Amino acid sequence: MITYDSLFIGGAWVRPDSNARIDVLSASTGEPIGSVPGGTTADIDAAVAAARRAFDDPHGWSSWSAARRADAIDSLANEVERRAEEMARRVSSQNGMPIAVATALEAKFPVLILRYMAGLARSYPFETEQPHLLGGTTTVRHESRGVVAAIAPWNFPQVLATVKHAPALAAGCTVVLKPSPEAVLDAFLFAEAVEASDIPAGVINIVPGGREAGAHLVAHPGVDKVAFTGSTAAGRAIAEVCAGLLRPVTLELGGKSAAIILDDADLDLATLGDRLFESLILSNGQTCFLSTRILVPDSRYDEIVATLETFVRSLKVGDALDPTTQIGPMATQVHRDRVERYIAKGVAEGARLVVGGGRPAALPQGWFVEPTLFVDVDNASTIAREEIFGPVLVVIRYKDDDDAVRLANDSAYGLGGTVWSTNAERAMAVARRVQTGTIGINRYLPDPSAPFGGFKASGLGRELGPGALDAYLQSKSIYS
């Protein structure tokens, strides 16, 4: 059991007044693995006050040179890297992410992002001069926004927290991070890394909690900017609050992305199996950008369906901490029940269930769902329209390239997507027509140095890339 009794606020471990606790269960076994304090609105108030003091300090974080901030961020990257193995283990234990995936992503991507943002801070033009068009000089400054409320989800808790706090830190902001109650043990390990780094006290504060704590943080008068990753429904509610407060917000929300398999695609599983796995069903399907709607041409429909059936049947289901596991459990029992309701809905609406659809008999404990493949799916059906967030793939038939693009774009979402073809020029032409914030050709792997975000109901704003810093800055023009 991993147990904490205090919250990390103001650079110190503070015992909360409330006795509220968040008990953590293993997704693979359902057994208790940890317990931490549950943050209350009073704890949020304390964290925001600490972040405000750290930001307003005339000699504090926001006044530091960009190079000095970058050095401190690098020191944080070093401390996170030292805890990489334990970080991966905690994430996998909590949310069911296979340990091989957690080791490759949750343990390594945060370090990469922190170092990228430190480098960006060193080169960013925080202050420039230009000729005034009416005579004289204009100095343009890009100044820190202030206190950032960073709200991270449970599916990739460290990566999706880092894409918020790393650019915020590089910009000179201070942060209140609210992890999801379904993924808290990794957040406390991250707090230990912060404490051991050169990040000053109060610059990063961590308070886990549920909806009440999150709502209080979003609306808090001491917050200057909100960054959120989660469901579209929650994102809309946050956007309404921020609109009323004229508070800037970045929202990375849901997805129902399409994999367009062109009629010249080579789907040899021996060479492309890993890329299909990463693009279609990574981390048990609990990934927002996955291409879970697979668009298959009439001319090769039966052949490609057979290949996909072989692929899905080949996936090894097991304990998340087993390094050979490809598909682990759902994060919680409640989430497993939700995924199972979608599978039942797919059957009821007439889709053909080819693989899976139930619970693996060999794994009676934990919250497992078999990798599932539906074919002959109507793009207007529930399982083709709504984000299932589990190991469920749906196959939709199309006639030609124009029809494939039409179906891909016939969605409320626009976050990810893929195009599969042996003709790079043709694939690029199709990719340009898909209404989505990101898309891959014969693979899908986000680039930390390029913008990431969605069109339509998949969100507002962008994370990653050089522009990520802009969201945490505000411009000032000084005329002389």
pLDDT tens, 14-70?
999 889 999 999 999 999 999 999 999 999 999 999 999 999 999 999 999 999 999
The arithmetic mean of pLDDT across residues 348-374, rounded, is 97
Q: Do domains 2-253+458-479 and 258-447 have the same CATH topology?
A: no
**Predicted pLDDT at 17:** 81
**CA 167/CA 467 separation, integer angstroms:** 9
Q: What is the pLDDT of residue 264?
A: 98
C-alpha to C-alpha distance for 152 and 315, rounded to whole angstroms: 29
Task: Give the CATH class of 2-253+458-479.
Answer: alpha beta
Q: Compute the C-alpha angle 344/454/94, nearest 5°.
A: 55
What phi, psi does 214 have (nearest 5°)?
Answer: -65, -45
- Of the candidates 79, 106, 182, 252, the residue annotated as catalytic is 252
pLDDT tier, 281 (very low <50, low <70, confident <90, very high otherwise): very high
pLDDT tens profile 370-420? 999 999 999 999 999 999 999 999 999 999 999 999 999 999 999 999 999
Q: What mean pLDDT is predicted for residues 140-154?
A: 98
pTM of the model: 0.96
Q: Up-side HSE of residue 84: CA atoms within 13 Å toward CB? A: 15
pLDDT value for 389: 98
Query: One of 288, 340, 387, 463 is an active-site residue; which one?
Result: 288
Rounded mean pLDDT of 168-197? 98
The residues spanned by each domain of the chain are 2-253+458-479, 258-447
Question: Which amino acid is residue 98, in one-letter code?
Answer: P
| Confidence at residue 318, expressed as pLDDT on a 0 to 100 scale | 98
**pLDDT class of 454 with cuts at 50, 70, 90:** very high
Average pLDDT, the chain: 97
Cβ neighbours of residue 211 under 8 Å, at least 6 residues apart?
Answer: none
252 given a catalytic annotation: yes
Mean pLDDT across the stretch 278-291?
A: 98
List, for residues 179-193, the tens digit of each pLDDT value. 999 999 999 999 999
Stretch 290-303: mean pLDDT, rounded? 98
Percent of the chain with pLDDT over 90: 100
Q: Which amino acid is at 124?
A: Y
Q: ∠ at Cα 41 (36, 43), nearest 5°?
A: 55
CATH number of 258-447: 3.40.309.10
288 is catalytic: yes
Q: What is the mean pLDDT of residues 424-442?
A: 98
Mean pLDDT of 129-151: 97
- What order of strands is seen across the sheet that includes strand 127-131? 127-131, 137-144, 473-479
Binned at pLDDT 50, 70 and 90, residue 429 comes out as: very high
